[in-house]
Amino acid sequence: MTNVVHYTQLDSPVGQLLLTADESGSLTSLSVPGQKGGRTVQPDWRRAPDLFRDAQEQLAAYFAGELKEFQLELKASGTAFRSQVWDALDSVPYGATTTYGEIAARIGASRAAVRAVGGAIGANPLLIVRPCHRVIGADGSLTGYAGGLERKLQLLRLEGR
């Protein structure tokens, strides 16, 4: 039996969000329009807005500046290395930024692994709720963001950066 993908779409200040979840209701992706590697609705997916009520409420509170930490069940699929990087992203606090090198150090990866860390961050399927927008270049520059640099800047401004 194939796993059913449930989805909903929500309006937000950064464009329409596409959320997907598995049968248990764990969030498996959050995509924005035009996102590099983002998901698009497939014919066999099931629209299930009720499954996403918590996510909808928490995202609304986040965009209103009232929520600083998401409390959602996340289930992203990726390699062990990517999962390690994504877990490290979860520990970057609201309103703070970190660098690719700092994430590499946090997971015990070498300086040479910074590119691989960047690739894992770029492949994050859970934009916004898993805060890859808080990762910047070592020189403080706004380096790549799968959702686009304008959105990255918008999210950082929302968080007071």
Catalytic residues: 132
Q: Which residues have a Cβ under 8 Å from the Cβ of 154 and sit 6 or more positions away?
A: 13, 14
Q: Taking the CA atoms of 24, 56, 17 and 76 in sequence, report the sign of the dihedral they define.
A: negative
How far apart CA 133 and CA 89 sit, in angstroms, is 9
Helix residue ranges per DSSP H, 4-160:
53-63, 80-90, 100-106, 114-122, 149-158
